[in-house]
Copies of this chain bind each other. A is one copy, B any other.
Amino acid sequence: MSQRVRISLDAMGGDHGPSTVVPGAAIAREHHPETTFLMFGDEAILAPMVAAEPRLAGAVEIRHTSVSVGMDEKPSQAVRTGRGKSSMWKAIQAVRDGEAEAAVSAGNTGALMAMSKICLKTMAHIERPAIACLWPTVRGESVVLDVGATIGTDAAHLVDMALMGAAMARIVFDLERPTVGLLNVGTEEMKGNEAVKEAARLLREADLPTLRYHGFVEGTDLGRGTTDVVVTEGFTGNIALKTAEGTAKQIATYLRSVMSRTLMARIGYLFARGAFEALREKMNPSRANGGVFLGLEGIVIKSHGSEDAHGFAAAIDLATDMARHDLMRTIRDMLEATPAAASA
């Protein structure tokens, strides 16, 4: 497909701001030459950086903003000071106003969600938004949500998330009827809290044409890729995601330590250097960077604040994918194909 897509970028967000966003956009443009950008931020900084980047020639429109949202600002404070004028708000507003098909920001997650809710509004029939990520598995990737949009849940919210996650999986994995699992402490029917048990009953009985409900899955199933979509409440999902990141770092530390301990290990490392590079690439979290905000009237992607340009480019790629395949319409179609009983 060579459909043109315009992405709005919060150029001041993240730990590194424009020095990640501008080269990130350039890398993403290599992958999708028909993507163009609306960049919001300090023009005096952005203009020379963009001009110096041949891959961005003719592809960027810069809109000056002098306000940016701090990484540690409380969401309420960020909305007070940044509403209507910050680079983050303007990037979201461009989606609302139809100037861009999706917005990407590496800024403060809480502020980005708060502004997105105010500016774009929640979709009809969706109670609360969720953040979905692509989780690397031994079989490929799974869509996992919610990884931190809201704390606490009920059965209806879990069912909504199953539908929205399946819509995203349909786009990303090109599947007609993705499999969906509910994250729980065991796979037996009697396990878990009331919300997961009730959501399981609703999903099983609804037997939807748009997704195949697999049943409960456990923490070990995440890395295994047992289902295309894994649904859980935001507190638990966020902790699971960060626990997996931490475990990967921990093992990388062990590996470095054992491979430098003896002369034999160091020689072995030299021979197997290519294999270690391949492993590093596999374990590189920036390959799957990008939290997709689901349940809003517009596409917003959160890039990890500490990512480099390649990570930011991955978030732009995800935004391009979601925009091209019309995430909003896919979700709406999923909701329409769902009997009211299941999401009520």
Kindly provide the distance from the CB of A243 to the nearest chain B CB, expressed in whole angstroms. Answer: 4
Contact between A272 and B275 (Cβ–Cβ < 8 Å)?
A: no
**CB < 8 Å: which of B221, B224, B255, B271 contacts A267?**
B271
Complex-state Cα separation, A224 to B243, whole angstroms: 10
Q: In the assembled complex, which residues on chain B have CB atoms less than 8 Å from the CB atom of A261?
A: 275, 278
Encode contact with B along A209-241: 1 for CB under 8 Å, 0 otherwise: 000000000111111100000001011101111
**CB < 8 Å: which of B193, B269, B275 contacts A262?**
B275
Q: In the assembled complex, which residues on chain B have CB atoms less than 8 Å from the CB atom of A183?
A: 239
Residue on B nearest A147 in the bound complex, by CB:
B185
A52: Cβ under 8 A from any B Cβ: no
Complex-state Cα separation, A239 to B242, whole angstroms: 12
Kindly provide the distance from the CB of A193 to the nearest chain B CB, expressed in whole angstroms. Answer: 5
Encode contact with B along A260-291: 1 for CB under 8 Å, 0 otherwise: 01101101111111111011001100000000
Kindly provide the distance from the CB of A313 to the nearest chain B CB, expressed in whole angstroms. Answer: 23
Which stretch (A54-62, A80-88, A164-172, A245-253) binds chain B? A245-253
Contact between A238 and B251 (Cβ–Cβ < 8 Å)?
A: no
**CB < 8 Å: which of B232, B248, B273 contacts A247?**
B248
A45: Cβ under 8 A from any B Cβ: no
Kindly provide the distance from the CB of A107 to the nearest chain B CB, expressed in whole angstroms. Answer: 15
Q: A268-B270, A272-B269, A282-B258 are in contact. Are A219 and B232 (CB under 8 A)?
A: no
Most buried by B among A74, A232, A240: A240
Complex-state Cα separation, A253 to B268, whole angstroms: 19
Q: In the assembled complex, which residues on chain B have CB atoms less than 8 Å from the CB atom of A279?
A: 254-255, 258
Q: In the assembled complex, which residues on chain B have CB atoms less than 8 Å from the CB atom of A232?
A: 239
A137: Cβ under 8 A from any B Cβ: yes
Q: In the assembled complex, which residues on chain B have CB atoms less than 8 Å from the CB atom of A219?
A: 238-246
Q: A152-B193, A258-B275 are in contact. Are A247 and B265 (CB under 8 A)?
A: no
Complex-state Cα separation, A185 to B234, whole angstroms: 9
What are 17 sample pairs from A and B whose C-beta atoms fall under 8 A apart?
A72-B188, A74-B190, A136-B250, A138-B253, A151-B193, A185-B234, A193-B235, A218-B242, A219-B238, A219-B244, A219-B246, A223-B243, A243-B243, A244-B247, A251-B283, A267-B272, A268-B272
Residue on B nearest A152 in the bound complex, by CB:
B193
Q: In the assembled complex, which residues on chain B have CB atoms less than 8 Å from the CB atom of A244?
A: 219, 243-244, 246-247
A126: Cβ under 8 A from any B Cβ: no
**CB < 8 Å: which of B220, B255, B267, B282 contacts A245?**
B220
Q: A248-B251, A278-B258 are in contact. Are A235 and B283 (CB under 8 A)?
A: no
